[in-house]
């Protein structure tokens, strides 16, 4: 077997505001696994590294891809325990190849076009007016669950935004999730959670920054709204570490990004451990291109995830790849008649 890879820069249609600054583009790597005797059949995967968030996003990332490439050619294993995104890309490529290179990673009623996935509408950080407009758009498009990224504007304006939403839409009409990205402090977190609870906010992701285990555990005991762990899961690689984290904090939910949580294999283990402890969960994408998003959506459908999932729509970028996924309101659909765009893939900068 052989592995090739192609670096690719995804370009945002509009600047994307995050807690780590404004993004104009995002690097990713497309992986292709194939047999020298039959190169026309190949499996595709995406190693979607996330600068500023992925622990492996350092100057040696591409060297690790080359190491993986060489080891596959020689039939040797590669330790990818601390390279979650690369592990995910490899798992995708292998699954695709085994399935005949047709872009079917997890066959299900979803890939047959019979079932859909409900997703939440993500509202990016921005000014008060921008965020309000984006919420209005999502509601008009048919979303019944929105996720607000907070922390970009001051808390008083964010309070006014959420208050305004709840005045217009009851909790039965609109589920509101918020993501603080670790933006609250131990000193102000409880007063803010009380405020959010009074407005029937469904849950809050990562209210405190990663690493404050005891403080987060205490908040999970007394919070008036459910707490979901997100960044706290990143870089936790072994079964023992995962068990320990869940036992110490005991959150109400965990948010699973396969690119950051150990690929499909690691995400499946997180789910197993969470289910044992009656901890809820949902799946979230992490700015992948349509190649990675397609595989993550198929995985999400195959495990019968419940409730609105945090999957992207593929519409963020000006130079995304063609996709079998489409959106009708809040429902993601798969087109089983989709055929990959071979010229699009052949034009990538493949390296061996």
Q: Domain residues of the chain, as ranges?
A: 2-104, 117-334
Does the annotation mark 64 as catalytic? Answer: no
The Cα 204–Cα 183 span in angstroms is 11
Output the pTM of the full model: 0.95
Does the annotation mark 149 as catalytic? Answer: yes
The Cα 23–Cα 13 span in angstroms is 10
**Spans in the chain with pLDDT lower than 70:** 17-21, 152-153
User: 26, 64, 138, 257: which one is catalytic?
Assistant: 257
Q: What was the pLDDT predicted at 18?
A: 62
Q: Which two tokens stand for residue 115?
A: 């079932």
Q: Which two tokens stand for residue 45?
A: 């995967």
The Cα 257–Cα 192 span in angstroms is 26
Fold classification of 2-104 is Enolase-like; domain 1 (3.30.390)
User: 138, 149, 210, 221: which one is catalytic?
Assistant: 149
Pick the closest to residue 16 from 300, 317, 225 (CA basis).
317
Q: Which two tokens stand for residue 55?
A: 């622990």
The Cα 150–Cα 292 span in angstroms is 26
Pick the closest to residue 115 from 292, 289, 239, 301 (CA basis).
301
**Cβ burial, residue 130 (10 Å; 0-12/13-18/19+):** middle
Pick the closest to residue 336 from 94, 142, 116 (CA basis).
116
Query: Which CATH architecture group holds 117-334?
Result: Alpha-Beta Barrel (3.20)
State CA 122 to chain mean position distance. Answer: 12
Pick the closest to residue 267 from 278, 281, 277, 256 (CA basis).
256
The Cα 329–Cα 143 span in angstroms is 6
Q: Which two tokens stand for residue 56?
A: 């492996």
Is the Cβ–Cβ distance between 224 and 244 less than 8 Å?
A: no
Q: If DSSP codes are grouped into helix, strand and coil, which group holds residue 128? A: helix
Is the Cβ–Cβ distance between 236 and 245 less than 8 Å?
A: yes
Is the Cβ–Cβ distance between 293 and 314 less than 8 Å?
A: yes
The Cα 208–Cα 163 span in angstroms is 22
């Amino acid at each position: 077997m052989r592995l090739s890879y192609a670096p690719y820069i995804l370009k945002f249609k509009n600047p994307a505001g995050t807690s780590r600054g404004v993004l104009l583009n995002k690097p990713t790597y497309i992986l292709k696994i194939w047999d020298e005797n039959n190169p026309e059949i190949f499996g595709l995967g995406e190693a979607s590294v996330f600068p500023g968030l992925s622990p492996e996003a350092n100057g040696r990332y591409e060297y690790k891809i080359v190491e993986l490439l060489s080891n596959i050619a020689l039939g040797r294993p590669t330790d990818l325990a601390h390279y979650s995104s690369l592990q995910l890309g490899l798992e995708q490529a292998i699954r695709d190849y085994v399935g005949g290179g047709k872009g079917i990673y997890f066959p299900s009623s979803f890939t047959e076009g019979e079932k859909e996935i409900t997703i939440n509408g993500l509202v990016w950080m921005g000014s008060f007016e921008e965020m309000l407009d984006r919420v209005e758009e999502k509601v008009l498009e048919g979303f019944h669950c929105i996720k607000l990224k907070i922390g970009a504007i001051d808390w008083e304006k964010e309070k006014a935004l959420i208050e305004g939403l709840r005045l217009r839409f009851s909790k039965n009409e609109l589920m509101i999730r918020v993501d603080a990205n670790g933006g609250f402090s131990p000193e102000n977190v409880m007063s803010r959670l009380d405020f959010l609870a009074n407005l029937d906010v469904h849950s809050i992701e990562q209210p405190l920054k990663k690493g404050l285990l005891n403080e987060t555990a205490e908040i999970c005991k007394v919070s008036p709204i459910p707490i979901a762990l997100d960044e706290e899961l990143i870089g936790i690689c072994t079964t023992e570490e995962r068990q320990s984290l869940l036992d110490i904090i005991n959150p109400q939910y965990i948010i699973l990004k396969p690119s950051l949580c150990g690929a499909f294999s690691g995400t499946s283990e997180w789910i197993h451990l969470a289910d044992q402890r009656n901890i809820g969960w949902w799946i979230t994408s992490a700015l992948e291109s349509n190649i990675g998003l397609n595989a993550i959506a198929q995985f999400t459908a195959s495990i019968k995830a419940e409730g609105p999932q945090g999957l992207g729509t593929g519409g963020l970028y000006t130079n995304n790849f063609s996709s079998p996924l489409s959106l009708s309101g809040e429902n993601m659909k798969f087109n089983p008649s989709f055929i990959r765009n071979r010229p699009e893939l052949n034009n990538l900068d493949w390296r061996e």
